[in-house]
Amino acid sequence: MSIYFVKNKGWRYDFNLLGIRHTETWFKTKEEAQLAESQKREELPLIKTGSLS
């Protein structure tokens, strides 16, 4: 899990899963970035297996 702050912009998350980079940017708080990253990680296995419609 990689969440970090960029001065004058905000928080972002950035991680690699199965060799694919996943990133989203400019959250107002660290907690928002952590929540968004957790949600993204939860939905990725569903997309990979085709369980998500």
Structure token digits, residue 1: 């899990």
Measured CA distances, 29 to 8, 13, 44, 51 (Å):
13, 11, 23, 31
Of residues 3 and 17, more confidence is placed in 3
Question: Considering only CA atoms, which of 17, 24, 19 is closest in space to residue 44?
Answer: 17
Q: How far is CA 40 from CA 7, 8, 28, 46, in A?
A: 24, 25, 18, 10
Residue pLDDT, tens place only, 6-46: 999 999 999 998 889 999 999 999 999 999 999 999 988 76
What is the model's pLDDT at position 18? 83
CA distance 46 to 20: 15
